[in-house]
Amino acid sequence: MADLRHDIETALYREAHLLDSGEFNAWYELFLPEAIYWVPAGSGDYDPNEHVSIIHDDMTMLKKRIDRLYSGHAYAQIPASRTHRAITNVEVEDEGDGVVNVRCVMMLVELARHRQTLYPARVTYRLHRAGDNWRIGYKKVSLLMSDEPLPAAAFLF
Amino acid sequence: MTGDDTETDLTRPIEQLIRRGAIHRDVYCDPAVFDREMTHIFDRTWVFLAHESEIPSPGDYKTTTIGRHPVIVNRNDEGEIGAFINRCRHRGPTVCRNELGNAKFFRCPYHAWTYNNAGELVGVPMPQGYGADFDKSRLGLVHVARVASYAGFIFGSMSAHGPTLEDHLGGVRKFLDAYVATSPTGEIGVYKGYQKCVYSGNWKFQLENGVDPYHVGALHASAVTPEALAIYRQGKGAVIAMDGHGVTDHTDWGPMPVDASLSGGFNLVIFPNLIVLRSQIRTVRPIAVDRTEIITSVVKLKGVDEAVNLQRMRDQEFEFGAAGTFFADDLDIFERTQQGLNSSAVDWLEFSRGLDREEMRNGYMHGFMSDETQHRGMYANWMAMMTAATPGIAEAAE
């Protein structure tokens, strides 16, 4: 279990690094084709088909979202937000067959428009082992501010 | 002119803030102008509160605002819609701080004064401490002076006087009728939850932007499809100054599409705080001269396949909200606009586009699709409200 936990933490840090360094296409490659990237609006303990979300992307949508950021015309992201994210309080539940459910706390700090904005979040994942790596089958980012009015947030959580 | 206190603080007289085809930066930057907007516009005219489907059952309530006033809009036990100032008549705390819910009573936590869902004060602890002239019937929650609905959209007016809601909406009524008629059963509802956004900029940037086809091909170059952009580039359709509200009418391409795609239909900006377009009902909340919140409901159509409604919501989430591929760039440009206007080196903004080619049709000034006729109409309305004598706010429920 200690090794599994270490593996998962390493995977989460790697994902955080890709996002913080703007390597969005490499980040996208972490996801399985049927994955969902979800940022709920409000508590998040709801069916996203019955309630509005901040983001609810399948992989086609996420690819479009990322391509737009590289288009040169995504003006809210020119210059791109700079982000640092600390991943902590990692809990791992092994489902077996190479699938784990992960809960962690993310402290995301965004610098944009000369302002620092703190986005604390509880993040849950379903991760699938793929050789030495882990692929994301599901990522849900439950922002502490999920029900508050948010400023432009075109970066990736 | 009314000679009230705020007027003396104005950097420049209201009448001098708009001229033909141009608007002065003080309209967006002067805190005294904002104060006057709260008293002369939001305390007076019809302000959008909720869609009826947000509070469908007796006892259902939603908390919102009218300008600076916290407001509860609800249904009483008989299902009748009312609206009250969310403020205890004793010492003043809000009596409700949930966003949505169902209540037979609103009880202030401070000293437990209790009101029923018709706003009547029904309970005061230890009433023997009050004198003989203490009259609970005069201490109910203060009613918003007038509450009325049109096509399921609930509005409130802090003033007992002035045009009826129907007169206020004027020609926009037929567009609201058409919006609701997108549903095969003629009924719309909203999904649970809201997209909530905030920007450091003036509230009127959002009103202009809700009916501004000119910006779509530029600001939204990264998000708009070539097919949708053709609508804005081909010159069909019209922008309309309609009874003080703004309309962009693309019905030349077809009626409001069931899939809410950017094709036919129209955008409505119903002055001063409601935007209706595609699958969304947007409420504009002015917080300060340079701070605004946008609260958006996603519309579902009764009588259409659930998959169609769900795709409408997925598209709405993708494109709008704080992370939206369209709306993040709008929120950002509103902040940049405020930053630019904060410079007093340049006084005037250009609003002259289409002045020489607009024309009256069916009683309303129409401009070409990329023109600013609709903005000039809204600001003429703004000026009329800002320079009119303001009826007082209703003091208490009688």
pLDDT score recorded for residue A136: 98
Span B123-171, pLDDT tens digits: 999 999 999 999 999 999 999 999 999 999 999 999 999 999 999 999 9
**Residue B118 token pair:** 């018709």
Residue B41 per-residue DSSP state: I
Residues of A in contact with B297 (CB under 8 A): 52
Is the Cβ of B362 closer than 8 Å to some Cβ of chain A? no
Higher pLDDT: A96 or B389? It is A96
What distance in Å separates residue A77's CA from the closest CA in chain B?
A: 8
Of A67, A66, A88, A70, nearest to A78 by C-alpha is A70
Q: How confident is the model at residue B8 (pLDDT cuts 50, 70, 90)?
A: low
Q: How confident is the model at residue B233 (pLDDT cuts 50, 70, 90)?
A: confident
Interchain contact, A52 vs B313, CB within 8 Å: yes
Residues of A in contact with B64 (CB under 8 A): none
b/e B286-302 (16+ beta carbons within 10 angstroms → b): bbebbbbbbbbbbbbbe
What distance in Å separates residue B135's CA from the closest CA in chain A?
A: 39
Is the Cβ of B332 closer than 8 Å to some Cβ of chain A? yes
Average pLDDT for chain B: 94
For B51, the 3-state DSSP assignment is strand
CATH of domain B47-148: 2.102.10.10
Q: Which positions ≥6 away from B171 have C-beta within 8 Å?
A: B240, B242, B243, B363, B364
Q: Which of B200, B294, B328 sits opposite A154 (nearest CB)?
A: B328
pLDDT score recorded for residue B2: 46
Among A53-57, B74-78, B278-282, B390-394, which is the least confidently predicted range? Answer: B390-394
Average pLDDT over residues B27-37: 97
Q: Which of A68, A150, A153 sits opposite B223 (nearest CB)?
A: A68
Upstream peptide bond of B272 is cis (omega within 30 degrees of 0):
yes
Is the Cβ of B310 closer than 8 Å to some Cβ of chain A? yes
Largest interatomic CA distance in chain A: 46
Interchain contact, B196 vs A148, CB within 8 Å: yes
CATH of domain B189-385: 3.90.380.10
Domain limits of chain B?
47-148, 189-385
- Domain annotation for chain A: domains and CATH numbers: 2-143 (3.10.450.50)
Concatenating the DSSP letter of every residue in B63-74 gives EEEETTEEEEEE
**Alpha carbon B53 to chain centroid, angstroms:** 17
Question: Is the backbone of residue A97 left (phi > 0), alpha (psi -120 to 50) or beta?
Answer: left
Is the Cβ of B128 closer than 8 Å to some Cβ of chain A? no
pLDDT score recorded for residue B7: 54
Concatenating the DSSP letter of every residue in B144-195 gives PSEEEEETTEEEEES-SSS--HHHHHTTHHHHHHHHHTTSTTS-EEE-BS-E
Span A81-134, pLDDT tens digits: 999 999 999 999 999 999 999 999 999 999 999 999 999 999 999 999 999 899
Residues of B in contact with A55 (CB under 8 A): 317-318, 321, 323
Upstream peptide bond of A79 is cis (omega within 30 degrees of 0):
yes
Residues of A in contact with B199 (CB under 8 A): 151-152
What distance in Å separates residue A66's CA from the closest CA in chain B?
A: 10
Is the Cβ of A99 closer than 8 Å to some Cβ of chain B? no
pLDDT score recorded for residue A1: 60
